Amino acid sequence: MARKSKSRDAPTVIHGKRADLKEIKNKMIRSKLYRDQAKARNTEEHKMRHERAKMESMDPSLKEERLANNVPDTLDSKRVFDESIDAEKEGTDEFDNYFSNDKMPKILLTTSKGARKEAYELKEELLDILPNSEFIKRGSKFSLKEIAKFCNNRAYTDIVVINEDKKLVNGITFIHLPEGPTMTFSLTSLRMPKQISGHGRSTNHIPELILNNFSTSMGVTVGRLFQSLFPKLPEFVGRQAVTLHNQRDYIFFRRHRYIFKNKDRVGLQELGPQFTLKLRKFQKGIYEEVEWEHKSGMDKEKRKFFL
């Protein structure tokens, strides 16, 4: 049995005849030839990388040119934006009343009916994160529309509802007042500060809000929802930042405290909590017309993103 050629795509030679590995019926021979081919390819590639590194060390421009011409494709670079929702332009949507004046947000925080321990633990964290917020325990007799009417009569700007199922927090609903919209998010990967190694303690300062990658018309609307929960003038002296990072329609929530160590370095300490949000439903008004809803079939198109 002759050994195969060193060429990457050269056919295997068996008993003086060329043959494709798929045509070899003996499993042991086929496996050995496959290993030989893989070893030869690795040896050749290693030699090529070594020679390329030697040339690039002598001429750095070669490396710059190679990197510029070999940008890998990713889901993010191939993303297809969904513009089926014709959200209004910034400054003319449901949040215009908040952004067009100096009104401070006033937030009522509550839970779904019959909430348990985990919802109340998250409630304490959200009270610490959202300035000018207060908690009212959810009664079993009142619907959210009735609660919204109560809040409108008392100058609240937003309602935040922690949703719980089977003793676990599984979502958050945001209602912007006085007339909506309502946005429902699923919540996963919840980690409280005590579960984060080396976490810090927050202060009473208004945090900075950082929004990343809210690019589509729907994404801009979702970003303005989060902006409306925080006063427009953060207290930078507190060195606290709340980050909402959108990646492939998953919104990652993080909170940090930072300090400038020198001109080029910034130290970060996570405060917590951590969780991930995904928009499930967008409704005009207060639990009224459904403008957009996430459906299971939407996940089949891996390159299409809505935020």
Residues 222-276 have pLDDT tens digits of 999 999 999 988 898 899 999 999 998 999 999 999 988 887 888 899 999 999 9
In a domain, residue 278? The reply is: yes
Nearest to 187 by CA among 91, 285, 119, 288: 119
Cis previous bond, 60, omega within 30:
no
In a domain, residue 222? The reply is: yes
Residues 198 and 58 in one domain: no
pLDDT at site 260: 85
Asked if the model's pLDDT at residue 286 lies above 70, the reply is yes
Question: Whats the size of the chain, residue-wise?
Answer: 307
pLDDT at site 76: 66
In a domain, residue 290? The reply is: yes
Please tell me whether the overall predicted TM-score, pTM, comes out greater than 0.85 for this model: no
Please state, in angstroms and as integers, the Cα–Cα distance from residue 160 to each residue in 42, 109, 148, 191, following that order: 56, 5, 11, 19
- Is 160:130 a contact under the CB 8 Å cutoff? yes
Residue 282 CA, distance from chain mean position: 18
Please state, in angstroms and as integers, the Cα–Cα distance from residue 35 to each residue in 3, 41, 193, 207, 217, following that order: 12, 10, 49, 57, 52
Residues 191 and 280 in one domain: yes
- Is 70:62 a contact under the CB 8 Å cutoff? no
Structural domain for 38, as ranges: 12-69
CA distance 86 to 209: 26
Residues 119 and 185 in one domain: yes
Q: Which residues pair with 122 in a beta bridge?
A: none
Residues 101 and 245 in one domain: yes
φ, ψ of residue 239 to 5 degrees: the values are 55, 40
Dihedral sign, CA of 222, 288, 111, 138? positive
- Is 279:307 a contact under the CB 8 Å cutoff? yes
- Which one of 69, 95, 115 terminates a domain? 69
CA distance 107 to 160: 7
pLDDT at site 75: 63
Asked if the model's pLDDT at residue 194 lies above 70, the reply is yes
Return the beta strands (E) in 153-271 as ranges. 158-165, 168-176, 182-191, 208-212, 240-247, 250-260, 266-270
Residues 35 and 91 in one domain: no
Residues 21 and 128 in one domain: no
Residues 38 and 127 in one domain: no
In a domain, residue 4? The reply is: no
Q: Which residues of 106-139 are buried (b: 16+ CB within 10 A; e: fewer)?
A: bbbbbbbeebeebbebbbebbebbbbebebeebe
Nearest to 170 by CA among 158, 152, 195, 188: 188
Residues 275 and 146 in one domain: yes
Residues 65 and 105 in one domain: no
Residue 284 maps to which CATH number? 3.40.50.10480
In a domain, residue 6? The reply is: no
Residues 18 and 94 in one domain: no
Number of independent structural domains in the chain: 2
In a domain, residue 211? The reply is: yes
Residues 107 and 234 in one domain: yes
In a domain, residue 77? The reply is: no
Residues 168 and 292 in one domain: yes
Please state, in angstroms and as integers, the Cα–Cα distance from residue 198 to each residue in 22, 201, 204, 270, 272, following that order: 55, 10, 20, 8, 10
Contacts of 196 (CB under 8 A, 6+ apart): 270, 272, 273, 274
pLDDT at site 60: 87
* Residue 11 confidence class, pLDDT cut points 50, 70, 90: low
In a domain, residue 234? The reply is: yes
Count other C-beta atoms under 10 Å from residue 100's C-beta: 10
Contacts of 253 (CB under 8 A, 6+ apart): 242, 243, 244, 273, 274, 275, 276, 277
Q: Which residues pair with 282 in a beta bridge?
A: 183, 292
80-126 pLDDT per residue, tens: 665 544 444 444 578 887 888 878 899 999 999 889 899 999 999 99
